[in-house]
Amino acid sequence: MTLSKKTEAGVRGRFAPSPSGRMHLGNAAAALLSWLSVRSRQGTFVLRMEDLDPQRSHKSFASQILDDLDWLGLRWDEGPDKPGPCGPYRQSERAALYRQQLNRLKEQGLIYPCFCSRADLHSAEAPHGTDGELRYGGRCRHLTEGQRNQLEQQRPAALRVMTDERLICFEDGLQGRFCRRLSEQCGDFIVCRSDGVVAYQLAVVVDDALMGINEVVRGGDLLSSTPRQIYLYQQLGFKPPRFVHIPLLVNAQGQRLSKRDHALDLGELRQRYTARELLGHLAALLGMIEQPAPVSAEELIPLFDWNRIRRQVCTVPDSL
Ligand code: GLU
């Protein structure tokens, strides 16, 4: 990136892990690149714990993530254990902020209750949108007041935000221009689940906006969520950050790494490698250095350049 030093100052990046399992190599790659992008420009690195879902989040995973980041040498300036001006830094403590922004969407008449069950949504006639996602056909959008009152007696409602025909485009730092029409991709989407938990799509926008995050570096699996998030930025009147979606890491069989691949989670990797060795492998995998060689996170700062980072899928060798 050829930004002048002046515009480079003041970058606020973040790493936003979900404590639903041990970090894996892909999470470490996102954390490393986000951290390097910030540190190479003297910015601020924020750690936000995305423990939004009480059923899937565990405190032990959250503390493990902090410990794994620390082991990698990726230190943060603000985070759950480091109070800063934009706290709290755990989503579980930010419910009131999400409510406020949800109310702003309600005031614009953009929110409606949805009573569709999982079975309704996955029924044979459920249409598929772009990216193979289920597209919500808008069944509950046009319910009358009477129908809503009646359904409310039967089951709790989720809340959806109305989408429209507009084409949403953004310039991704690694993937280039990406455009979607939400009406075709996913239709009206959920911003609050029927159990009252705010949906990731809304929480992440509220958090990044209120925490002043101006650069989001994260896994390529979230690329297709970004138009939904930009739509929310637009409706709430916030300025979207610069987005950089890093390539997905796949195993030698071409499958996406997941939290179930324990062989590549930090628990396993920490037994086999020192932090310097693991960072060397990661840096080589991502295109930062030619061959894996032990290196610290600090030593990678002067070598960091987005132009050298791989844009496509990265295959993790079986030997790792
Ligand atoms: N919490 C999400 C995850 O761990 C990442 C969300 C984001 O970076 O926007 O997959």
Q: Which residue has the higher pLDDT, 61 or 252?
A: 61
Q: What is the pLDDT of residue 5?
A: 45
Helix (H) or strand (E) holding 178: strand 176-181
What's the 125 CA to ligand 1 centre distance in angstroms? Answer: 31
Nearest CA among 46, 36, 45 for reference residue 80 = 46
What's the 111 CA to ligand 1 centre distance in angstroms? Answer: 24
What's the 28 CA to ligand 1 centre distance in angstroms? Answer: 12
Residues with Cβ within 8 Å of residue 159, at least 6 apart in sequence: 102, 111, 112, 113, 114, 190, 191, 192
169-207 confidence digits (pLDDT tens): 999 999 999 999 999 999 999 999 999 999 999 999 999
What's the 150 CA to ligand 1 centre distance in angstroms? Answer: 37
Q: What is the pLDDT of residue 259?
A: 64
**CA distances to 80, 100, 260, 265, 315 from 255, in Å:** 33, 40, 12, 15, 9
Query: Position 180: which residue type?
Result: R
**What number does the ligand 1 atom closest to the CA of 204 have?**
9
Q: What is the pLDDT of residue 3?
A: 44
Q: What is the pLDDT of residue 255?
A: 86
Q: What is the pLDDT of residue 139?
A: 94
Nearest CA among 311, 310, 308 for reference residue 175 = 311
Q: What is the mean pLDDT of the chain?
A: 94
> Cβ distance 121 to 128 under 8 Å?
no
Q: What is the pLDDT of residue 124?
A: 67
Q: Any residues with Cβ below 6 Å from ligand 1, and which? A: 16-18, 50, 204, 218, 222
CA distance linking residue 287 with residue 299, whole number of Å: 15
197-251 confidence digits (pLDDT tens): 999 999 999 999 999 999 999 999 999 999 999 999 999 999 999 999 999 998 8
Q: Is the pLDDT of residue 6 over 50?
A: no
Q: Is the pLDDT of residue 4 over 70?
A: no
What letter would DSSP give residue 245? E
Q: Is the pLDDT of residue 7 over 90?
A: no
CA distance linking residue 246 with residue 313, whole number of Å: 9
For 10-14, 43-47, 252-256, 285-289, which range has the lowest pLDDT when averaged over its residues? 252-256
Q: Is the pLDDT of residue 29 over 90?
A: yes
| Cis amide linkage into residue 292, ω under 30° from 0 | no
